[in-house]
Structures are given as structure tokens and as C-alpha cells.
Structure 1
Amino acid sequence: MYNLVIRGHDLTNVTTPEQLAQETQKVGIHNLQFAMGASFPQMDSSASALNPGMGTYFKNLFAKHEIQIALLSCYSNLIHPDPQAREEILHKFETYLRYASFFGASMVASETGSVIPNLGYTEDNFSDEVFADLVQVIQRLVKAGEEYKTLVGIEAGLNHPLYSIERTKQLVEAIDSDYLGIILDPTNLITVDNYGSMVEMVEEAFAQYGSKICAIHLKDFIISDGKVKPIALGQGLIDYPAILKIVQKYKPYCYIVLEQTQDQNIITANELIAKI
């Protein structure tokens, strides 16, 4: 009862759309988080290039291999400090929302970004002023989502304005829309001090805004050199059985997106999850 998803670019030897479809089928997965720019850097994935034919091509190609695009990735710095750069980023996201249905995707996904252009760490991200700015940005995107009937999937992370369960709840409370979805990646919200409480953190997220959670990112980790470092599922410390049982309790068949799990490790992860 788990709807497993992989990121297309985690199949590392893929160079063509047909090959991506074939390799995804080979590893036994039926859902993709599709980032065109990551999977096919040579392909123009800009706002001006997107069109219904492009979306329909990918939708039909993947369907032949019993695969759907679960999430369309448009990961960008949504709060870029340069007004012109931000406008281009938001326009691209809105364009992805416009054409998502042609790809067969129910949502377009992104993290929130940073007040530093290169997404570097700064405590400036944690201010109420930056959060208020973020709310305005997400409100704009959600309005487009409402128009095109596509979810806006927003992912929290420690270094971003959306850095905690509490801050995410504030965003949910500030934006009253059925088209705001939250992508929960618990590994993005832990430190070397609190990683042992990850399962409780997941429970808390579902208790606070479970109705808004539209996908889970499942990313294993180790503690190395005083840092949380991602690793393939099953090779680290994450209590994925406990987390998946929580997801099953609150959101049966919710999309479970593997991260940092590539190639042969995808097959292994699929087998591990099937045993739960």
C-alpha cells in the first residue's frame, strides 16, 4: 500500500526519454518525480519551451511502460533576492503549473529557497520578514495552481524560511487553499542533535497539518564529521518502517519519493519496503 516514486535523474546512465522509461520499468517503479533539466540537461526545459505537445509526449511515452509522472519538479529559489531573477523563476513555476496536466502530473514541486542567491546558509532566512515575503510568493503560486487545477508542492528544509514543523504549520494557516500541498522530507529537518526524534517529528507533522501532506521524501542518512549526510535507503539510520507505518495510518497510497537512492540501490530499496 505504498506508492513508491523515484527521481528520474537517480537513474544515472540514462540519456534519452525512451531509456528513462525503460530503465524505470526495469527497476520495478511506476511513478516518477520528473525534473527535465536534471534528467536531460541538453533539453530546453525553460518556461518558453514548455507546451502541450511536450507534456503529452512524455505522458504517452511513460504510459507505454506503465509509468506516470507523479510530481513535476521545478526546484528553484522562490525567494531569490533579485527582483528580475525572482520574477523569471516564479513565471517558470507558473508555466509548469499550467502545463502539468499535459504531463499527467498532479503537482509541481519545489523547496522555498534562500535570501542568498546561491542557496547558501544564512540565519537571515529565519526572520519573520522573510517568512512574510515567502507567504506572498506561495500565495501567488497557489493562485496559479487554483487556476490550472494543479497542486503546489512545497518542501521544507533547515536552511530555508520553511525550516521546521511549526513554521510549516504557519504557512498552512496563512494560505487557505486546497491547492497548497506540503512535501514532507523528515531528513531535511533533522540535525546531529535531534535525529533520534525523527519518527516523533513525522507524527507531529501529520498531527499539525496532515491533510496538506501530498508526498513524502524518504532519504536515509548517516552522521559523519558532525553532519547529517544522505545515503541510499537501507544503508543508514532512518527508521523507515516506522515512518512508513505512520504514512500508512494517515495517508494510504501517498507518494513515497526515494532520494539519494540510485540505480541498483532502487531495486534494493523497493525490496526492503515490500517486506514491511
Structure 2
Amino acid sequence: MKIGIRAHDIHIFDDPEGLAQALKKHGFNFVQFAPRVSLAGLTHQGAKLNFGLANQVKQAFDRNGVTIAVLGCYCNIIDPDLAKRQQVLNQFKKYLTVAHSFGANLVATETGSVDPTFHKTVNNFTPIKIEETIAVIKELVQIAEKVGCLVGIEPGVNHPIYSLVVTQQLLAAIPSPNLQIVLDPGSLVMHAEDDPVALLKQGIELFGDRIYAYHLKDFFYHDNHIEITPIGEGVADIEAMLRVINEQQPGAYAIADELSARDIEQSLTRLQAMAQRIN
């Protein structure tokens, strides 16, 4: 089994060749790539992409056997400031247009918040806000259909698309194959008793044919929210989740998420050991 990583968890920036070589050295052959971070200086924090730079990244990654599985454009697509919302939606549409020059098939985001500071609020969960979010995603999917790309939505507990049930609602409202899901069971944990392995299994059962990639992170639950830990030090059974993915969708993109720079080598060693036991 192969496991990917967010490219910016390897702290090499504005240097596609150096980053690609480092990813190859660590044994990765696919990544999630966020220009906002990995190319911060060259793209004005991801706001300005061009086809030539995207192709330079693709060529560097190709030389080192690395594929961009997910192009990240995580932004607040339901920002209450409509001018800011339109700005990020235009940016996301640009990412959809340029994705193939990066060698990517999908551009991913979470669904944002009615609170631009992202403090927890139940106002994200109202039927009106969910419908508004679905309408915004439908607009993005229509662009994706025109340019031959995929929109990836990652559900999360502090967003309007916040649960497996609401994700089903989204997929039913937009049956287009150009809409796919990036499923992170840890991001759907709302209560201490929630089991990310069970959430993963349920997600695959409900809409497995619309899951493009998986995010995996370890954590413990504290003060009504999760706190990320190095792999193997939290309550999430990462190996069990990897086994479920491998059994249900062998070869699927499984991407380690939110690895801290301080503990990354330890986390990667543990992840690679898990993958070897599964193989």
C-alpha cells in the first residue's frame, strides 16, 4: 500500500525540483500540493498561477516519479463578505483551469464558514446555509465540467458540509461525476465517542464511488475539539483505517494530513511500517 503526504509538510518552498527530489527521497510517489504554501513566493500565496510555472512543477515532479494527486485550493467559498467570496471562487476556477498543467485531475477545498475567523458556530449548519453552499459548489462543478477537471470537497465539522449525511445530500443535489469527495474521518469527529474507523466505513458504504482520496490524521479529543498528534500517539487507529481503505479500494489515494515539522520523521516511519504490514 502506498501513502501520500501534503507536499508542504516537507519544508522546501519555491523550489519545485528540490521539493520533488526530497519527496522521492522519502519514498512518496503522490502528494497533495498547495501552491499557496509550496509556491508562496512565486504565486503571491497562491493567488497568481500561470500555466508555465505549473508545467515546470509537473516536469520536476515527473523526473522524480511524483504525481500531484490533489491540487489544494482551500478557501472560504461561503465567506459572508460577498466580494471576498467572489475573489476566492474566481481563484478556485483558475485552479480548475490550470490543474492539468500541474498534472492534477482534481482541485480540493473545504466549504468554509459563515464566521471568517472560523470559530465554531452552529450557523454553519442551518438548512439555508447548506443549500447556499451546495449552490456555490454547483457553480464550481459547472466550470470543472467545461475544462475537464474535478472538484473535490472535504467535509468537516465546522463547515456547512459537516457530516456524512449532509455529504450525501450534496452528492444527491449534484450528481455530476465531476464532483468528488476527499474524506477525512478525523475531520468528521464531533464528539469524544465518535470512532473515525466507523466513520470511514460508513462513508465508503454511503458514497464510496464518489470518494477520490482519503486524508488520515491522528489526534486526541479535548475541550470539544480534536487536537492533532504525531501518528501513533493519538486515539485514531490509523492502521485499521489503512486496512479498510486497502480492502475496499485497493490503490486509492491515502494522504497523511497535518503532520508537524517537529515529528514528521517519526510519523512517516510509523506510517510506512503500517503500510508494510498491510502489504
Q: TM-score range by the shorter chain?
A: over 0.9
Identify the range of structure 1 (147-156 vs 114-123) with the bigger mean alpha-carbon deviation. Answer: 114-123
Q: 1:8 to 1:141 in 2, by over 3 A?
A: same
Say whether the 8 Å CA contact 2:75–2:88 is kept in structure 1.
Answer: yes
Mapped to 1, the partners of 2:53 and 2:40 lie a distance apart of 15
Mapped to 1, the partners of 2:148 and 2:162 lie a distance apart of 27
Letter of the 1:275 partner, please give it: R
| 2:261 matches 1:269 | no
Identify the range of structure 1 (251-260 vs 91-100) with the bigger mean alpha-carbon deviation. Answer: 251-260
Q: TM-score, normalised by structure 2?
A: 0.92
Partner residue of 1:228?
226
Identify the range of structure 1 (244-253 vs 31-40) with the bigger mean alpha-carbon deviation. Answer: 244-253
Determine helix, strand or coil for the equivalent of 2:21: helix
Cα RMSD (Å) of the superposition? 1.8
Deviations 1:79-130 (A, max 9, x none): 0111111111111101100010010001001000001122222110000000
Partner residue of 2:244?
246
Say whether the 8 Å CA contact 1:218–1:259 is kept in structure 2.
Answer: yes
| Runs of 5+ consecutive residues of structure 2 not aligned to the other structure | none
Say whether the 8 Å CA contact 2:31–2:70 is kept in structure 1.
Answer: yes
Say whether the 8 Å CA contact 1:47–1:95 is kept in structure 2.
Answer: no
Say whether the 8 Å CA contact 1:100–1:108 is kept in structure 2.
Answer: yes
Partner residue of 2:205?
207
Determine helix, strand or coil for the equivalent of 1:22: helix
Letter of the 2:43 partner, please give it: D
| Runs of 5+ consecutive residues of structure 1 not aligned to the other structure | none
User: Shift of residue 40 of structure 1?
Assistant: 3.1
Mapped to 2, the partners of 1:47 and 1:184 lie a distance apart of 23
Note the 1:95-134 alignment, pairs <5 A: 95-134=94-133
Determine helix, strand or coil for the equivalent of 1:256: strand
Determine helix, strand or coil for the equivalent of 1:93: helix
Determine helix, strand or coil for the equivalent of 1:125: helix
Deviations 1:174-196 (A, max 9, x none): 1010000011100011134323x
Mapped to 1, the partners of 2:131 and 2:7 lie a distance apart of 33
Determine helix, strand or coil for the equivalent of 2:244: helix
Say whether the 8 Å CA contact 1:114–1:161 is kept in structure 2.
Answer: yes
Q: TM-score, normalised by structure 1?
A: 0.93
Deviations 1:206-245 (A, max 9, x none): 1111111100000111234564211222222211222222
Mapped to 2, the partners of 1:13 and 1:267 lie a distance apart of 20
Letter of the 1:269 partner, please give it: L
Note the 1:160-171 alignment, pairs <5 A: 160-171=159-170
Q: Percent of aligned positions with the same letter in both sequences?
A: 35
Mapped to 2, the partners of 1:45 and 1:274 lie a distance apart of 39
